Chains A and B, each alone.
Chain A
């Protein structure tokens, strides 16, 4: 519809709209919120923005014998309320998710309750008005809200991951509704995330994480980079984050915090290494929480007096009483997002099983060929 049409008052058949909503809801084809009705003609606009074959498989969960095709991705994107021009982002998001190790092994059936979490870089952010500045995790921006939701609806509808049935998340987390943020490249003192990863600044890139939670770091109190890095590390090294031996984190720095580090001469690697060095606990602190050893069979953390326990990796190191809770410096990832109005950043806790991965995310360029 053109601007002139949209500016006029609109009349609709509310009963017919409600009927379509009830139809989708009655079949369980929603996340609980109303969805946008999709027909072949509305779907055609989505398939027209890509030259990918509608039957091409973007992501498959082999043990469910289910596949996300381009066509099904488009139907669910339309259902989620995406505009057709968002669809290339959704395609790249599914491809990034396909590169992640846990989703195709069934992690979204798991009690752990993780969520897909998408980060978008590059010029596409401006083209589709994808928010990266202010209230990044909150609502209010159609591109962010519906691109993340397109993934969730695809999980529910195509892979049958309905809560209480195939999705056995004990609590889940709010990001499951939708989690898609842009990097605030324009207010970052550093190179954008995708450029660090070998893409051109002019490329648009989607990065997928599998996450457990988003924690806020209230830090408007200091101009000292060492104090600030300690504030982050203290939150990341909480024992409740640990399933297996290690944890991983994405630091989503607001421009003010990024500038504080950069003005002190710190690169992203300096921040990364400083956090990595501080994410340690004493053996006694882990023992107090009953997480000072690991299971023989599953490698989950448990108390050292448990019959299935064996020593963790740190026990065999030169400093057995100082336990590193991150396996690699790259277990700390860093990006910039949020408003440039306060020192309130966040730590996204990235789901980390055993063995830990050095690089805890997967990126795909938007619009790349199959």
Chain B
């Protein structure tokens, strides 16, 4: 009888990992906040409300809104390069479906690797999908924010309330001293 090692069917161990966050700044004062909208319902309003509050209360210089062309996959290289060149920090979301929650987390990781402190926002019913994406991206501890589900069906006031609730976590992930 020949005893042999059982093979790993994943190929995962062959990949290199990079779990390094971009450098944080203690303050948002004078910085440009990028908002990357994945086109899912209410995303524009949530991102804008968070961006406005960062400007009003934390001294950010302004916000710039960008839109993904497909919610199910991460932003295309050209869009990512443009955003990296134009903003200092980024908020992106809202991943409220199977593919878009994972794509939002992948975006967050790719922007961090490109040097932009980023808050990726999923809905909390897709938290596990976001976590799994962080795992396959080689960044298992990646920190993102999960907004309370359901989110797509909220009215404007409710979206604003969710934005205010998100704020302490957004600041924590960005490493900003509130």
Docked-complex contact A168 and B129, CB < 8 angstroms:
yes
Chain A interface residue bracket vs B = 35 or more
Within the complex, the shortest CB–CB distance from A77 to chain B, in Å, comes to 10
Complex-state Cα separation, A181 to B12, whole angstroms: 31
Complex-state Cα separation, A298 to B72, whole angstroms: 11
User: Which residues of chain B are near A64, meaning CB under 8 Å?
Assistant: 106, 133, 136-137
Complex-state Cα separation, A154 to B9, whole angstroms: 8
- Grouping DSSP codes into helix (H, G, I), strand (E, B) and loop, the A interface class, with mixed when no group exceeds half, is mixed
| Contact A164 to B98, CB < 8 A, known contacts A29-B9, A69-B11, A110-B72 | no
- Which of A36-44, A232-240, A244-252, A263-271 lies on the face that meets chain B? A36-44
Contact with A along B62-94 (1 / 0, CB 8 A): 000000001011100000000000000000000
Assess whether B118 is interfacial by the CB under 8 Å rule.
no
Assess whether A275 is interfacial by the CB under 8 Å rule.
no
Assess whether B4 is interfacial by the CB under 8 Å rule.
yes
Chain B interface residue bracket vs A = 20 to 34
Docked-complex contact A106 and B103, CB < 8 angstroms:
yes
Docked-complex contact A168 and B10, CB < 8 angstroms:
no
| Contact A106 to B72, CB < 8 A, known contacts A37-B6, A69-B11, A167-B98 | yes
Docked-complex contact B97 and A111, CB < 8 angstroms:
yes
Docked-complex contact A165 and B132, CB < 8 angstroms:
yes
| Contact A66 to B98, CB < 8 A, known contacts A24-B6, A37-B6, A308-B41 | no
Assess whether A207 is interfacial by the CB under 8 Å rule.
no
User: Which residues of chain B are near A106, meaning CB under 8 Å?
Assistant: 72-73, 99, 102-103
Contact with A along B1-45 (1 / 0, CB 8 A): 010111111111001000000000000000000000001010000
Q: Which 3 A-B pairs have the closest CB atoms?
A: A168-B98, A165-B132, A39-B4
Instruction: List residues of chain B with CB under 8 Å of any chain A CB.
Output: 2, 4-12, 15, 39, 41, 70, 72-74, 97-99, 101-103, 106, 126, 128-129, 131-133, 135-138
